[in-house]
Amino acid sequence: MAVMHEMAAGMGGIRTAGDLVARMVMKGMKIASAKEYVANKLGCSVFDLADSAKMKEIRESLDIGTILERKHASTGMAAKIKIAELLDIKIPSVELFKKKVGKGF
Amino acid sequence: MSQKYFTRMGDGEGVWMTKEEIKNDVIAGMEDAVVRGKSQPLDDSEIDQLVEILTMPEKNVSVERGNEGIVTFDAGTLKLPIRSGIPVDRSTTLLIHERILCSDTMELCNTDYSYKAIKNIVPEEGMAMEQAQMNCIMPIFYGAMPNMGLYTKPDGPVDNWAMLLPEGKIKEAMAAQEEAAELCKNDMIYIGSVMAESGACGLQFDTCGASGDADAYAALGAAKVLSEKYPDVSITMGMANEFHLGMHGKLKFEGQRVAGQYPAKQVKSVEAAGAHSYGCVVNTNSSKSFAWNLSRSVTYVKEATRVANIPVLVNAGMGVGGIPLTNTSPTDATTRVSKAMLEIGKADGL
């Protein structure tokens, strides 16, 4: 079921900008506004958001995590800290992590 | 002889129907949603669009480029290790979804998918969430059902209203539901608070209203408290049905009677609770055709998205949203639901 819906209608997760758009939808934004917001932050077109070739380049250049591990590349919490800054949002786990390490970055 | 198209019944069985038969069922399904749920009907072009989707020759279909939505999951980490019996733990399940299945979001959950059952293990669930958040890039929800029926004797402290009602003890049944709703709400607030403080990106209240209107009332009350307490934690509320059963009948949330709410009113209650998205549920009638069921579901969804100020994420699992009532939903039907819900229903995701 997960594969079918994702392939037929999903954004594509971290293969594209699916996780980023989802974060804005989770803030209560309708899908069109969420896509526009993310596209503006990434400096790309709304059309590019679900293009895995385009988004691979963008994600790698911003170091916000992709589906493939790369040497010295950010993943997990490190990627999310950058995503929170990029989208200008508070991500609860990032806030918790900052608190734990005693940093206000 | 008219050309026949392969389609399905609501239980997943394959059938061959003419385009006229399919269109007639599309119109009949739509009319059911118009009459029961006071939804606005689909217009002629939307009916034609739905018939086109249903009769496309391709086995699997998809939305047009640009029409993608986001995908969320209830019972998220139950599916690989529990239902499919794959020997992986929940944190691995999350990463499989993130890096192999490319889900937009995922949900961490317990095998007993009820908030009451989680109360005893909530510190460990919080630890699992903290660990998951260290590894995952995509947003992770924590989810479970209000499942208010669990608060009744002998499993819980409250008299069973389903036994009181047939005995004519109406006032006692109402009082029992009010007591259970308070207990249920408090447990959801407690568990939701632990998860929020463990770094959950979101909380999922799934299958709200499964025990009737008081069940939905409890979840709405919990969402209101949690959304004010943790404004950065996303709350999504999925329903149990296309209308709230009036087991109590008189409960009101923010001035609106909960019993009998259809999607267009359910979404307004969810908004009033401060939740960030609404999961529309329309149950599948397995005796009717896939065309009838999908049309009926899309009509309800379109009405909900028309009035909603928050995203509408359609529940499209087995037996809801037009999906046939079978554990192995055929891909031809599932992908047609995905496409129709986003392109005709104007949903924000699934």
For B71, phi then psi, to 5°, come to -120, 130
Which architecture characterizes domain B63-279 according to CATH? Alpha-Beta Barrel (3.20)
Residue from B322, B317, B229, B311 nearest B278 by CA: B311
A31 contacts chain B (CB < 8 A): yes
Which of B70, B199, B200 lies closest to A10 in CB terms?
B70
Cα–Cα distance for residue pair B172/B237, rounded to 1 Å:
29
pTM of the model: 0.94
In chain B, what residues touch A50 (CB-CB under 8 Å)? 65-66, 68
Please report, for residues A21, A48, A58, A60, A61, the alpha-carbon distance to residue A40 in angstroms, rounded to integers and kept in the order given: 12, 11, 13, 17, 16
Element (H, E) at A20: helix A18-25
Instruction: Dump pLDDT digits (tens) for B80-136.
Output: 898 889 999 999 999 999 999 999 999 999 999 999 999 999 999 999 999 999 999
A95 contacts chain B (CB < 8 A): yes
In chain A, what residues touch B68 (CB-CB under 8 Å)? 9-12, 50
Side-chain half-sphere CA neighbours of B9 within 13 A = 7
Residue from B142, B131, B318 nearest B236 by CA: B142
Angle at A29 between CA A11 and CA B222, to 5 degrees: 110
3-state SS, residue B199: coil
Side-chain half-sphere CA neighbours of B350 within 13 A = 36
A80 to B66: CB separation less than 8 angstroms, yes or no? no
Alpha-carbon gap: A37 to the closest alpha carbon of chain B (Å): 14
Q: What is the pLDDT of residue A76?
A: 96
Which of A4, A12, A95 lies closest to B335 in CB terms?
A4
A23 contacts chain B (CB < 8 A): yes
Split into its structural domains, chain A has a count of 1
Q: What secondary structure does DSSP assign to B203-265, as a single string?
A: EEEEEETTT-HHHHHHHHHHHHHHHHH-TTSEEEEEESSSS---SS---EETTEE-TT--HHH
Instruction: Dump pLDDT digits (tens) for B188-240.
Output: 999 999 999 999 999 999 999 999 999 999 999 999 999 999 999 999 999 99
Q: Tokens at residue B128, please?
A: 């699992």
Q: Tokens at residue B184, please?
A: 């249920």
Q: What is the pLDDT of residue B228?
A: 97
ipTM confidence: 0.95
CB pairs under 8 A between A and B: 194
Q: What is the pLDDT of residue A105?
A: 58
Q: What are the domain boundaries of chain B?
A: 63-279
Mean pLDDT rounded to a whole number for chain B: 96
Q: Scanning the structure block, which residue is given the tokens 């267009």? A: B264
A53 contacts chain B (CB < 8 A): no
Cis peptide before B81 (omega within 30 of 0): no
